[in-house]
Structure 1
Amino acid sequence: MSTTLLLLALGYVLGSVPNGYLAGKWFKGIDLRRCGSGSTGATNVLRNVGKGPALVVSLLDMSKGAVAVMLAKTFGLSDWIQAMAGLAALAGHIWPVWLGWKGGKAVATGLGMLLGLTWPVGFACVGVFVATIFLFRIVSLSSVVAALSLPVLMVVSGQSSAYLAIALMAMVLVLWRHRSNVKRLIAGTEPKIGQKREA
C-alpha cells in the first residue's frame, strides 16, 4: 500500500512539472496562462513561443505520463495501479499545484501514458491524430477525435478492463479540457494551424 501511494504521489508530481509555463518564461518572458488559450500545453507554446520549444515541451510532457506508468510496471504492480499512476500524472498536468491548479489539456501527457501502458494503442492514437490534423489542420479537432477513438482502440486490441477504464477517464478529461474548443468547432470559428489564436 505504501509503495502504491508513493507512486501515485510521484505520478502527480511528475505530471505537475510545468514544462510549457517554464518555456514561456525562459524563451519569451511571458506567462502562458495569460496568452492565447491560457493553457500551458505544447499547442499554446507553439503559437506563442515557437516550434522548437513546443517540440521539446511535447516530448517532456509525454515523458511525464510514460515514466509514471513505467515506474509502476517496474515494481510489478497490477494493471489497475499502472493505470492509476498514469491518471495521477494526467491530473498533475491539468491541475498543477505550482500554477494555481491551471495547467495544460493533457493530450501529450495522455499519449505518454498510453505508450507506457500499451504502445500499440498509443501509436494507433498518434495515427488517428496525425490523419485528422492532415485532413483538417485543426489541433483541437485532432485531439478530440484521438480521445474519442481511445476506448474503441482499447476494446479492439483486447486490453484489460483496467486499461479500458483509464482510457474512458482519459477521454473524459481531454474532452472536458477541450470544451471551449468544441464550442468553437461547432460554431466554425476554431482556428487552423498557422492562424494566430490557439486551438
Structure 2
Amino acid sequence: MDVLPWLVVPAAYLLGGLSAGYWLVRLRTGTDVRTVGSGATGATNAARALGRGGFALVLLLDAIKGALAVLTARVAGLHGGWEFTAAVAVVAGHIWPVQLGFRGGRGLGPLLGAWLALAPLAIGVCLLVAGVTWAITRRRVPSGLFGAFLLPFTTWWQTQSVPATACTAVTFCLVAFAHRNHLHPGATQARPAARTT
C-alpha cells in the first residue's frame, strides 16, 4: 500500500501525456497540431483540423483519460486523497506531457473526466454555473474558468475532505496557469493563444 501511490501517480501523469488531439491530427492530416492555431493539443485547437466532430471526440478522449486515472487509483485501493492526487497528475501530464516535449493542452478535458468520477455533484454545479455564465456572456473560456474556480469550494461541499479540496485547488491553479493568456485585461477568445482543454 505504501508503494502503490508512487506507482499510480506517475502512471497517471504519463497517461495524461497521451494526447488524443496530437495523435488524431497527426493521423488524419500528417500535421503536428502544435504548429498550427494556438499550438495546443486540446480539443479546441484540434478542431481547427478535425472539425466539430473532432472537437467532441478529442474532448471525450481527454475526459476518459482523466476518469481512468482516478478510477485506477481507486481500484488500486488508494484513498485519503491519493485518488485526487492522481487527478492532479493526469491534468499536469496533459498540460506538460513529457512525451511531447512538455507542450500539451490546457487541462479542462481531463479535469472534467476526473471530477465526474471523483465528485460528480461538485463538477455538476460548476458546469451549471459555467453554462449559465456562457449563456449570459457568450465568452467560452472565461465561463469555463469561472466554473473551474468554484470547483475547490464545491468539492469541499461534497467531500468534506481537506486533502481532496487541496488537490482540487492545485488542479485549478494548474489549469488557470495554462490559461494565463486569458487572465489579463484585453484578452479575447479570438487571440491565437486561446485553447481550452
Q: Which residue of 1 aligns with 2:153?
A: 152
The answer to whether 1:6 aligns with 2:19 is no
Provide the aligned length of Structure 1 versus Structure 2.
194
Q: Which residue of 2 aligns with 1:106?
A: 107
Relative to structure 1, the CA distance from residue 27 to residue 198 in structure 2 (aligned partners, 3 Å threshold; closer, same or farther) is farther
AA aligned to 1:190 is: Q
Alignment of 1:10-159 (within 5 A): 10-159=11-160
Measured on the aligned residues, the alpha-carbon RMSD in Å equals 2.0
Q: Which residue of 2 aligns with 1:187?
A: 186
For residue 197 of structure 1, report the CA deviation from its aligned partner: 7.7
For residue 158 of structure 1, report the CA deviation from its aligned partner: 4.7
For residue 15 of structure 1, report the CA deviation from its aligned partner: 0.7
Structure 2 distance, partners of 1:41, 1:11, is 18
Structure 1 distance, partners of 2:11, 2:27, is 25
Structure 2 distance, partners of 1:141, 1:2, is 40
Deviates more, 1:11-20 or 1:29-38: 29-38
Q: Which residue of 2 aligns with 1:166?
A: 167
Provide the TM-score with structure 1 as the length reference. 0.89
Contact 2:40–2:103 (8 Å) recurs in 1: yes
Structure 2 distance, partners of 1:197, 1:90, is 19
Q: Secondary structure at the match of 1:79?
A: coil
Structure 2 distance, partners of 1:170, 1:82, is 13
For residue 133 of structure 1, report the CA deviation from its aligned partner: 2.5
AA aligned to 1:187 is: G
Gap regions ≥5 residues in structure 1: none
Structure 2 distance, partners of 1:50, 1:42, is 10
For residue 26 of structure 1, report the CA deviation from its aligned partner: 2.0
Provide the TM-score with structure 2 as the length reference. 0.89
For residue 46 of structure 1, report the CA deviation from its aligned partner: 2.2
Larger RCO, structure (CA 8 Å, separation 6 or more): 2
Structure 1 distance, partners of 2:118, 2:159, is 13
Which 4+ residue blocks in structure 1 deviate beyond 6 angstroms?
none
Q: Secondary structure at the match of 1:46?
A: helix
- Identity across aligned pairs (percent)? 34
Gap regions ≥5 residues in structure 2: none
